Amino acid sequence: MSLLSLSFTLGFVLIAMVLSLWLKLGLERDMVIATVRSAIQLIVVGYILKAVFTLNNPVFIVLMIVLMIGVATQNASKRGKSLYGVVWWRVLLALCVSEVVTQGLLLAMGVVPFTPRYVIPISGMIVGNSMIASSLLLNRLQSETAAHRAQVLATLALGGTPRQSILPYVKQAIRASLIPTIDSTKTTGLVQLPGMMTGLIIAGANPIEAVRYQLLILFVLMAGCAIASITLGFSVYPTLFNRNQQLMLQ
């Protein structure tokens, strides 16, 4: 695709802005910022990846993964601002466990080689989707706890432990955080053709080979999101209680 052809696609952003103006949504500024930021970020990342692919050094592969996890941790942690405990390290733990387990198994089984061309894109998808699941988990856990505050307090008053009082709502939050991933997996091929598969086909790959890689990604992402959500859910719920086992979330 030429730069001229790419510039024409800004017309789609203009369409979105016109619709926002028409309905008075007030999203025009955010759309401009999102467009500029995404362009700058992707261009910078493109040059960085080009250099990393050329060097093919394990150190730079690890540094790229660390950078992705760090940014994802910062973004997801914002959803837990109302929690009293330190949330960011729990999010970091969840993302690290998700990445290490899933990517580690892929490498251990020889499914993908330890090269930047494979490890970095797959890690980006794992970390990105795990970040979304973590954000949803934090949002839902806080809303579930607030909505069932009376039940939690009643369980505590009757001698139950914090874990006993909050466990049903932790499970509800985990379930809710995984629904988008599961629904997306269910409709793949019928409603949508995922980005990786589409990209490979456009690049000239055999469609059957593209399907195999896409199935690999779908299965890995489902496991990664589940690991991240469960790890974060069970590590973050203690922040809802103080040392006296009293519910702190108002």
Render pLDDT for 147-185 as a digit per residue (tens, 0 to 9): 999 999 999 999 999 999 999 999 999 999 999 999 988
Q: pLDDT tier at 1 (50, 70, 90 boundaries)?
A: low
Query: Residues 208, 214, 220, 223: is their CA dihedral positive or negative?
Result: negative
Q: Which residues make Cβ contacts (< 8 Å) with residue 91, sequence separation at least 6?
A: 73, 76, 77, 80, 134, 138, 232
Same domain, 67 and 97: yes
Same domain, 103 and 187: yes
Euclidean distance between CA atoms 95 and 143, whole angstroms: 22
Euclidean distance between CA atoms 238 and 247, whole angstroms: 9
Mean pLDDT in residue range 179-200? 81
* Mean pLDDT value across the chain: 90
Q: pLDDT tier at 84 (50, 70, 90 boundaries)?
A: low
DSSP letter, residue 115? S
The one-letter amino acid at 231? T
Euclidean distance between CA atoms 194 and 198, whole angstroms: 6
In a domain, 13, yes or no: yes
Specify the pLDDT at position 250. 57
Neighbours of 138 (CB within 10 A): 27
In a domain, 197, yes or no: yes
Specify the pLDDT at position 85. 65
In a domain, 204, yes or no: yes
Domain-terminating residue out of 40, 55, 70: 55
Query: Which residue, among 174, 95, 101, has the nearest Cα to 136 in the 3D structure?
Result: 174
Mean pLDDT in residue range 93-119? 94
What the block records as the tokens of 84 is 């009293």
What the block records as the tokens of 11 is 């017309």
Same domain, 7 and 104: no
Same domain, 94 and 171: yes
Specify the pLDDT at position 55. 87
Euclidean distance between CA atoms 226 and 117, whole angstroms: 25
Mean pLDDT in residue range 140-147? 91
The pTM assigned to this predicted structure is 0.87
Euclidean distance between CA atoms 48 and 116, whole angstroms: 11
Same domain, 214 and 98: yes
In a domain, 248, yes or no: no
Task: Assess contact for 224 and 98: CB atoms under 8 A.
Answer: yes
Task: Assess contact for 64 and 116: CB atoms under 8 A.
Answer: yes
Helix (H, G, I), strand (E, B) or coil at 192: strand
The one-letter amino acid at 133? A
End-to-end CA distance of the chain: 53
Render pLDDT for 5-49 as a digit per residue (tens, 0 to 9): 888 889 999 999 999 999 999 999 999 999 999 999 999 989 998
Q: Over 90: is that where the pLDDT of 86 sits? A: no
Query: What percentage of the chain reaches a pLDDT higher than 70?
Result: 97
Same domain, 63 and 39: no
Q: Over 60: is that where the pLDDT of 141 sits? A: yes
Same domain, 64 and 169: yes
In a domain, 10, yes or no: yes
What's the angle, vertex CA 70, arms to CA 193 and CA 132, rounded to 5? Answer: 35
Task: Assess contact for 138 and 102: CB atoms under 8 A.
Answer: no
Q: Over 90: is that where the pLDDT of 223 sits? A: yes
Q: Over 90: is that where the pLDDT of 98 sits? A: yes
Euclidean distance between CA atoms 24 and 18, whole angstroms: 10
* Total tally of structural domains belonging to the chain: 2
Mean pLDDT in residue range 63-70? 95
Same domain, 28 and 71: no
Q: Which residues make Cβ contacts (< 8 Å) with residue 55, sequence separation at least 6?
A: none
**Structural domain of 43:** 1-55
In a domain, 203, yes or no: yes
Same domain, 126 and 201: yes
Same domain, 43 and 89: no
Same domain, 51 and 71: no
Same domain, 189 and 75: yes
Mean pLDDT in residue range 219-227? 96
In a domain, 250, yes or no: no
In a domain, 249, yes or no: no
